[in-house]
Each structure stands twice: as structure tokens, then as C-alpha cells.
Amino acid sequence: MRYLTHYPVRMWSGKNAPWYFLARLTFNNPFGDAGMGDRVLAIWQGAGYYHFTSCNSDNGNPNYTANINYPDDIEGLWTYVYYSHNRVAKRSVGFIKYGNADPQRI
């Protein structure tokens, strides 16, 4: 993915929201917003970081979170994200890579 505020047309207000939703997977039907199982894997872009969310059914936490900071200037920078969850093992793992930099694990 790439964060672009200047192409194809300039976004004059730029990045002015505290959160931008990127992706979410759920195993609930119907799904809700933040209940157990609604955020098996979810990613948001916050101010200076990507916010990874999963759930922990062992302790009933529907929002187990961790952040990975991104570079100061991400305009046009290719960002590669891998995020997976093993429901049997109750484990999530994610990797994020910015351009040619080494991947970071979460």
C-alpha cells in the first residue's frame, strides 16, 4: 500500500483525522464493532504509527493492540504489510516493511 496525499489530486486538508481504518477480519456473523471476535485482525493508521489489533479469547480481551512506528515522511513510500492469525493456537503475527528498509515484526 502507499499513502498518497498529492496524487492523483492534492488532498488539501491532508491527514487530519486521528485514525484511518485500513483493514479488518472477523469471525462473527453478524459482525459488530469491537466485541470478542470482531477484530481478529485489524489495522489502522494513527498519528505516526500503524495500529495492529487482534483478540485474546483466553482473557476475554477483544482488543489486544500493538503499534509499529512509521518513518516521518511516508508520502508515496511503498509499505508492505503481512498480518495473520492462527485461531487454534490463538496467536497473531505481523510484519511491516517500508520501502527498502528491513521488515519489523509485531
User: Which residue type is seen at 27?
Assistant: F
Whether pTM exceeds 0.85: no
Residue 12 lies in a domain: no
Q: Into how many domains does the chain fold?
A: 1
pLDDT digits (tens, 9 = 90+) for 44-57: 888 888 988 887 76
- pLDDT per 10-residue tile (average), the chain, 106 residues: 77 73 76 67 86 77 84 89 83 89 91
Residue 14 lies in a domain: no
Confidence at residue 103, expressed as pLDDT on a 0 to 100 scale: 94
Residue 11 lies in a domain: no
Residue 93 lies in a domain: yes
Residue 70 lies in a domain: yes
Residue 85 lies in a domain: yes
For residue 2, give the C-alpha cell. 502507499
Residue 10 lies in a domain: no
Confidence at residue 6, expressed as pLDDT on a 0 to 100 scale: 75
What is the Cα–Cα distance from 11 to 23, expressed in whole angstroms? 22
Q: Which residue range is the domain that position 85 belongs to? A: 20-105
Confidence at residue 81, expressed as pLDDT on a 0 to 100 scale: 92
Residue 49 lies in a domain: yes
Name the percent of the chain in helix, strand, coil, to the closest 5. 0, 45, 55
